[in-house]
Amino acid sequence: MRFSAEFTRHLGAAGFIGMTWPKEYGGAERSAFDRYIVTEELLAVGAPVRGHWVSDRQTGPVLLKFGTPEQKRKYLPAMARGEHFFALGLSEPDAGSDLSAMRTKADKVEGGWLVSGTKVWTTNAHNSQSLLVFCRTSPPTEDRHHGFSQLIVPIPTPGLTIRPIINIAGEHDFNEITLDNVFVPEENLVGTLGNGWGQVNAELAYERSGPERWMSAYRLLAELSAVRPKNRSDAWDSALGRLYSHLLTLRQMSISVAAMLEAGQSPMLEAAIVKDLGTCFEQDLVQVAADLVHVEGLTAEDAPNLFEVLGHGRMWSVAFTIRGGAKEIMRGVVARGMGLR
Ligand SMILES: Cc1cc2nc3c(=O)[nH]c(=O)nc-3n(C[C@H](O)[C@H](O)[C@H](O)COP(=O)(O)OP(=O)(O)OC[C@H]3O[C@@H](n4cnc5c(N)ncnc54)[C@H](O)[C@@H]3O)c2cc1C
């Protein structure tokens, strides 16, 4: 998940960003499965994909579905070339799981809106050219989901400040963003005014079910498989076998959700199941790797690559079950989808 503008540009030039988008918007009109395979391969080798990740996965599809022809022409080809990156402005200091509690507001003025509020945990905003802001465009009513819209805010722009948040791994990956009367022109409204809730939910199915939900620690599994401890115990083999069988099952489930998205369905429940199981699997993987290394008495000298990815995984795994929607929330989505609440 590292950022490399150069790598992303190369990937764009090779036609591997926006692969499923129409050719007129810089895409390659390939199938969702072609894109899926490329995504898996990038994750398997730990490629530095941070730059285009959000644009390719969800902002592009959102603009294709809800954007105006001008927005499509302006953003999609540049995104497909790997030159324009989007960040997602959803979470706020007092609104994460419960997005309906969001307070960032857009007041109508001539020619556009004045947007004010604070966004937090905004991944890669410091390297992005646009922020897709979820905000209130009309006061709350009895329907808590009413009156939200999505606006494209250029970065930089007067009134917008980005402050780094350094994560537990000591890396600058996400940010806090303040918007102080930021002017956003009329043409930057995405979709229908007041329909932001429905649009964001459509977007979340893309965010929750892809291979990055169960493959972001894949390098660890690969390194674990490459190591041959001298007196390898049965525990080592059976733990690896178990991890691989879980991985393959998750892959089948995730591909099924991709097929539903491709067919134009909105698989919220199914995507939530994949995210919950996938991210718990990733956390287990890190714990199992740490236990095996301990049981087999391996040291960093025996397996330097394994220790490096294990250290990284230890630091990042706490985020796996939070980013993109906390696991408790996923279980709530599943329960609601099954008619249990
Ligand atoms: C690495 C990382 C990157 C991120 N990137 C972005 C980004 O680019 N853009 C963006 O907008 N956001 C981003 N986020 C934010 C992420 O979406 C939120 O952290 C997440 O939705 C949870 O919100 P919160 O942090 O406010 O926690 P809270 O909503 O305060 O939740 C705290 C705890 O309470 C539990 N909880 C809350 N409500 C309920 C409930 N109703 N029932 C049961 N349990 C509940 C939660 O499950 C959680 O365990 C990122 C987060 C991380 C960790």
Neighbours of 127 (CB within 10 A): 17
Q: What is residue 330's three-state secondary structure?
A: helix
Residue with tokens 């050719």: 23
Using CA atoms, how far apart are residues 114 and 325, in angstroms rounded to an integer?
28
C-alpha distances (whole Å) from 117 to each of 135, 203, 295 are 9, 22, 50
Q: Which of 40, 203, 207, 212 is catalytic?
A: 207
Q: So what's the pLDDT on residue 208?
A: 86
Pocket test for ligand 1, best of 2, 58, 322 (most atoms within 8 A of CB): 322
Q: Which atom of ligand 1 is nearest to the CA of 97?
A: 29
Q: Ligand 1 center to residue 333 CA distance, Å?
A: 14
The atom of ligand 1 lying closest to the CA of 332 is: 42
Measured from CB, residues less than 6 Å from any atom of ligand 1 are 87-91, 96-97, 121-123, 174, 319, 322-323, 325-326, 328-329, 332
C-alpha distance from residue 200 to each of 54, 218, 262, 266 (Å): 14, 28, 18, 12
Indicate the pTM of the whole model: 0.95
Atom 26 of ligand 1: nearest residue by CA position = 96
* Rounded Cα–Cα distance for residues 149 and 133 (Å): 8
Which tokens in the block code for residue 250?
């998750």
Tell me the pLDDT of the chain (341 aa) as tens digits: 899 999 999 999 999 999 999 999 999 999 988 999 999 999 999 999 999 999 999 999 999 999 999 999 999 999 999 999 999 999 999 999 999 999 999 999 999 999 999 999 999 999 999 999 999 999 888 888 999 999 999 999 999 999 999 999 999 999 999 999 999 999 999 999 999 998 988 778 778 888 988 999 999 999 999 987 777 778 888 999 999 999 999 999 999 998 998 888 888 899 999 999 999 999 999 999 999 999 888 999 999 999 999 999 999 999 999 999 999 999 999 999 999 98
Q: What integer pLDDT is reported at residue 201 of this predicted model? A: 83
